[in-house]
Structure 1
Amino acid sequence: MTRVRQAGAADRAAVEKLVHDAYAPWVPIIGMRPLPMEADYGALIEAGCVHVTEPELDGLIVLIPEDGVLLVDNVAVRPERHGRGLGRMLLAYAEQRARRLALPALRLYTNVKMTTNIALYESLGYVETGRVGVEGRSAVAMRKELSL
């Protein structure tokens, strides 16, 4: 049974490889490396923001508490595991975490060209709140309100 746990320092190399493998196919589509490929996973793991699947590290989610909202900074699933519900499971975990932190909403942003991701988020109840520029990239900002 797949569960989610907080990543530890020993997971860093596997986390970085997973992020690379998950986002590499997007590089030619968006014309540059997606922002998750540029993140400092050592610092994010140390801060307790990275959560990974177990027993196999096939997916991860980066969650950053903010004022009144939980930022879903990154969701990554190993490409050969796409379509098996891991992304949905990780996003459900994010909702549980937000509720435990008494945060009434989740927010995220994704590249405008990542249309399959946008469709997934919309199917889970996220709504577009705007289009923004993020470090030279065009992103769709999305939000989901939770019942606490």
Structure 2
Amino acid sequence: MIRPARPADEPAIRACAIAAYQRYIAVIGRKPAPMTADFAAQIAAGQVYVARDDNDQPTGFIVFYPDDAIAMMLENIAVAPDHAGRGIGKRLMAFCEDTARQLGFSHVRLYTNEKMTENLAIYPHLGYVETGRRNEDGFNRVYFEKALA
């Protein structure tokens, strides 16, 4: 089940982000941006959704919001490592894409760190096309976009 995040979910969302992104600190040389995000503000803005298991325990989350008149920006997606490999990430991505379609957006955009090489392989497999690379806030980011049918 995926539902909008509530303020009480913030500690679980933060813990999920830390657990999911911890392994990238050594590769990037610092904490990835999702580990320092202001989840309370994002939750208050209605940008965060949580995936829950049958016992209503959080298994992952996604952050997205309108980027411009045509695209939804997928800012962050993470699955708790002990729930990885169960399709939760794909369901969260599909939820973002379905929501974008329902709201009249024709594209979803996202970015990842260039050192997160698994993501560089996963996103094209899911229909995303690389649109550019740039350095922002000291991170080398790779941007992707997917046209929604």
TM range (shorter): over 0.9
Distance between the aligned counterparts of 2:76 and 2:145, measured in 1?
14
CA distance in 1, matches of 2:20, 2:147: 27
Map of 1:110 onto structure 2 = 112
Measure, in 2, the Cα distance between the counterparts of 1:118 and 1:84: 20
What is the TM-score normalised by the length of structure 2? Answer: 0.94
1:92-124 Cα distance to aligned partner (Å, 9 max, x none): 111101011101000000000111112111110
Tell me what 1:62 maps to: 63
Q: Aligned residues: percent identity? A: 43
Question: 1-side partners of 2:24 and 2:79: how far apart?
Answer: 13
Match status 1:37 vs 2:35: yes
Q: What RMSD over aligned residues (CA atoms) do the two structures have, in Å?
A: 0.8
TM-score under structure 1 length normalisation: 0.95
Letter in 1 for 2:49: H
Unaligned runs of 5+ in 2: none
The answer to whether structure 1 residue 83 and structure 2 residue 117 are counterparts is no
* Residue 23 of structure 2 corresponds to residue 20 of structure 1: no
CA distance in 1, matches of 2:4, 2:38: 16
Could you tell me how far apart the structure 2 residues matched to 1:34 and 1:81 are? 21
Letter in 1 for 2:29: G
Partner of 2:135: 133
Deviations 1:11-59 (A, max 9, x none): 0111111111111111111111111112100000000000001232111
CA–CA distance in 2 between the matches of 1:24 and 1:108? 20
Alpha-carbon displacement from aligned partner over 1:46-81 (angstroms, at most 9, x marks no partner)? 000000012321110001112111000000011122
Gaps of 5+ in 1: none
